[in-house]
Structure 1
């Protein structure tokens, strides 16, 4: 492993890899600081650029945007009470009270250190467990692959924030969007309706930019959200933690890193779940839980450590099994597939330089992020004052240029705009957009492995149950479906009970008067 890691550093320390690693983490921090944009939109905009880069360099840049955004997202959460990304929502609970108490500098400094600690721990997990999991996955056939991807889709839909039914509906929509194009087995075009632009199906770049780039801009414009920065001077002296702050740092950061690494390695879980679980664990472990929500250091350290750990650990199932954990991992998987590289059990053996170069870039990127975030916190705070009337038109222009540059086809630009409007409606109606992209990218792979498994078994569906690993994965997916159904029924009953109790109380007050 050490020799492989040394070869990875020799590749990651090349001038081109270093330059695009720096670009990726810088852009990631920038979009993380600005509320409402997020890593998905930035990765979607820069995805066409990777067509002209070496696959390793392109993946290093896109991955840098992903984990770099987690560093920057806490800045807006602490100063504005608006999370830069959804994963930083839990940081608002204690980060914003610390800012109102004049401790914004300490909060920003502690989150940067916690993010670095969580990321480094998860990178070690990635180095040790990805090759082992890939070796186990060599015994997989099409039945196991289908079951693993099916479990990933079910987990992504049922464990996402919001209604599980809405999440599952969006997964089905994504699978439906993957159907138009050329059939894998017969080579015949289906659902193209005579449009030759649809021979290859919808383009990943157009859908990603529409759902996560244009839609976010339109949603912010419709809601007319204009964040206001707290007028506080953040100096280097104001960032220095006290001895009591350091005493409350170590164990929450360690627990957050472990929780984030475990949750992030599970397909479909994502960093949002890791942050909520780590925050709940810290409240349970605290001697005085009443401090939480009022500016507790543990309330920002543990979620930020878990946040970055889960992002790095999400590469474990993506690279070893080819099953993305969330929408960003799905885009990275699609970027590799565009270059003809299929992540899976043989990925590390066939592409050792790419894998270990990516791991080495994670070490480099996290160190660069620590340098960028701690001394330049004042600069990132000033970025929150960028006029959105300048930022939004520039982003829309870059999105349209990026979509057009893929195939030099105006049809793709129209598709991106259409999905932008669809994404805006989904945001306003509180339908999750990430499961759509997961279903779209995994759709062709699920179809391929499903048909291949049935060909091997001569049409016998029992092949998915006869094999132990496949049956176990399907059983877990079934349990998740039952759990989500029970939660939905329980929430509806509770809502009805609360409504009845409210009406009864109002009636009593009326007669009492």
Structure 2
């Protein structure tokens, strides 16, 4: 009964005219940046963070959430039509989706992606509504030692599940932790690592790093790519409704992808990207005799990953909303947005801001419904956008980024710092370093330090407090187990093979 009352409160909040408008804007913008190659939800949300200062917390978070799951929908459009994933989690969709388009079945591929995404998004939202309250109750049992151990588990998970080299992922985490130490010590009140630069005594701005590494860094990386001839299947996009045979082959893949994505979305470092790849691997193992071989246009290769990445996108909100722990880069940005609005992420959000908590969950249902309407009937509009040359897009993005960064503190130092992180982001790109762990390290670093020091103060300097408290010991054991498992030769080789296929 409590769940129904809470959902009634959520829908009352989400269906207000203002919140509906921001959910629609977020869904449209998310689809747009998903459709346009090179712009992802991380870069877009990072660019929009300065604009939320003038908004109330609820519409601001509803809009940012709409951008995130909207991008999962939009990314599949370019992946299917021109073999250029608009969003990283759509990389796998391009394998079979593009082949379906070449065979004149772009409409069926787009419909399978859209309907699978809608179903998975709705299921993911149900899971959030059902599991968030009990997890929040559990979170209230967490003390400083438990929070520190949970963050250790989160960082280990981010390293283990990051794509590419483990060494590079560890280096990114450590760099993020070190950047998080540039601030004023909360206990002694002395400036640390500020190099006598007054602007650094309050620490490096979260928006500055996010916008520099992801926003500007993406632009520089894209400008370095040669313009290739793109074949857009505009005329072939007919018959958007799949055939009965398509439904028969696709629905088991949708169910499997939804289940897999719902689980992997909760894991630190997981989210939509890992879920989509894992779903594709699962489909290849489970479907022994597809009517069309995988890699040649199998509809299961579109329906499974698209369902998984949307379910993963939705359930990644669970640890962020209930524990205040971001499982991926986008959720780290959402934590940053909540902090900007003066809301402390964690279990108290449900009790102190129930309209925000349940309104955000209810808005996901509304947003998913908007997205299915936006993506199928209006597919022609999104196709036209693909013809806009990138040379016209990037100057506008750069100007918007600079205005947004300057408006944070009305200080040009932030713009220069963002430019420095843009060059760093480009270096990461050239070195094939995944920058998302850096953002997680930067967010979790100060929180880890604060909880570590508080736990040791309460225990009078006794380090065994982390092992004598059962919940803390269990979390540290899980982190250690994760490290041991990933170092096993068989798991290590499979992980390398998986991420090699992905790239």
In the superposition, the TM-score normalised over structure 1's length comes to 0.93
Which residue of 2 is the match for residue 380 of structure 1? 382
Which residue of 2 is the match for residue 189 of structure 1? 191
Counterpart contact for 2:173–2:438, Cα < 8 Å: yes
Which residue of 2 is the match for residue 273 of structure 1? 274
Which residue of 1 is the match for residue 327 of structure 2? 325
Measure the CA separation in 2 of the matches of 1:135 and 1:420. 41
Which residue of 1 is the match for residue 500 of structure 2? none
Residue 178 of structure 2, aligned match among 176, 179, 182: 176
Which residue of 1 is the match for residue 406 of structure 2? 404
Which residue of 2 is the match for residue 222 of structure 1? 224
Residue 346 of structure 2, aligned match among 344, 347, 359: 344
Determine helix, strand or coil for the equivalent of 1:363: helix
Measure the CA separation in 2 of the matches of 1:234 and 1:17. 37
- Per mean C-alpha deviation after superposition, the further-off stretch among 422-431 and 465-474 is 465-474
Call closer, same or farther: CA 1:227–1:124 in 2, change over 3 Å: farther
**Map of 1:498-509 to 2, 5 A cutoff?**
none
Counterpart contact for 2:149–2:476, Cα < 8 Å: yes
Give, in angstroms, the shift of residue 136 of structure 1: 1.2
Q: Deviations over 1:133-174 (max 9, x none)?
A: 111111110111111111111111221110011001100000
Determine helix, strand or coil for the equivalent of 1:249: helix
Measure the CA separation in 2 of the matches of 1:350 and 1:255. 36
Measure the CA separation in 2 of the matches of 1:366 and 1:186. 48
Which residue of 1 is the match for residue 240 of structure 2? 239
Which residue of 2 is the match for residue 499 of structure 1? none
Q: Deviations over 1:346-365 (max 9, x none)?
A: 22111111101101111111
Which residue of 1 is the match for residue 438 of structure 2? 436
Determine helix, strand or coil for the equivalent of 1:340: coil
Counterpart contact for 2:125–2:361, Cα < 8 Å: yes
Q: Which has the larger radius of gyration?
A: 1
Measure the CA separation in 1 of the matches of 2:11 and 2:97. 36
- Per mean C-alpha deviation after superposition, the further-off stretch among 331-340 and 474-483 is 474-483
Counterpart contact for 2:184–2:202, Cα < 8 Å: yes
Which residue of 2 is the match for residue 506 of structure 1? none
Counterpart contact for 2:80–2:101, Cα < 8 Å: yes
Call closer, same or farther: CA 1:328–1:127 in 2, change over 3 Å: same
Counterpart contact for 2:81–2:233, Cα < 8 Å: no
**Map of 1:92-107 to 2, 5 A cutoff?**
92-107=94-109
Measure the CA separation in 1 of the matches of 2:306 and 2:298. 13
Measure the CA separation in 2 of the matches of 1:443 and 1:234. 50
Measure the CA separation in 1 of the matches of 2:116 and 2:457. 50
Which residue of 2 is the match for residue 509 of structure 1? none
1:261 maps onto 2:253 in alignment: no
Count of matched residue positions in the alignment of Structure 1 and Structure 2 = 493
CA RMSD, 1 decimal: 1.7
Counterpart contact for 2:101–2:233, Cα < 8 Å: no
Measure the CA separation in 2 of the matches of 1:101 and 1:31. 27
Measure the CA separation in 2 of the matches of 1:487 and 1:168. 19
Instruction: Give every structure 1 segment of 4 or more consecutive aligned residues whose post-TM-superposition deviation is greater than 2 Å.
Output: 223-227, 229-232, 479-492
Determine helix, strand or coil for the equivalent of 1:32: helix
Structure 1 segments unaligned to the other structure (5+ residues):
496-513
Structure 2 segments unaligned to the other structure (5+ residues):
498-503
Counterpart contact for 1:164–1:484, Cα < 8 Å: no
Residue 214 of structure 2, aligned match among 212, 225, 243: 212
In the superposition, the TM-score normalised over structure 2's length comes to 0.95
1:469 maps onto 2:471 in alignment: yes
Measure the CA separation in 1 of the matches of 2:394 and 2:164. 27
Give, in angstroms, the shift of residue 472 of structure 1: 1.6
Measure the CA separation in 1 of the matches of 2:60 and 2:130. 24
Call closer, same or farther: CA 1:135–1:418 in 2, change over 3 Å: same
Measure the CA separation in 2 of the matches of 1:311 and 1:273. 11
Measure the CA separation in 1 of the matches of 2:132 and 2:491. 38
1:148 maps onto 2:150 in alignment: yes
Give, in angstroms, the shift of residue 463 of structure 1: 1.1
Give, in angstroms, the shift of residue 198 of structure 1: 0.9
Counterpart contact for 1:158–1:168, Cα < 8 Å: no
Counterpart contact for 2:234–2:383, Cα < 8 Å: no
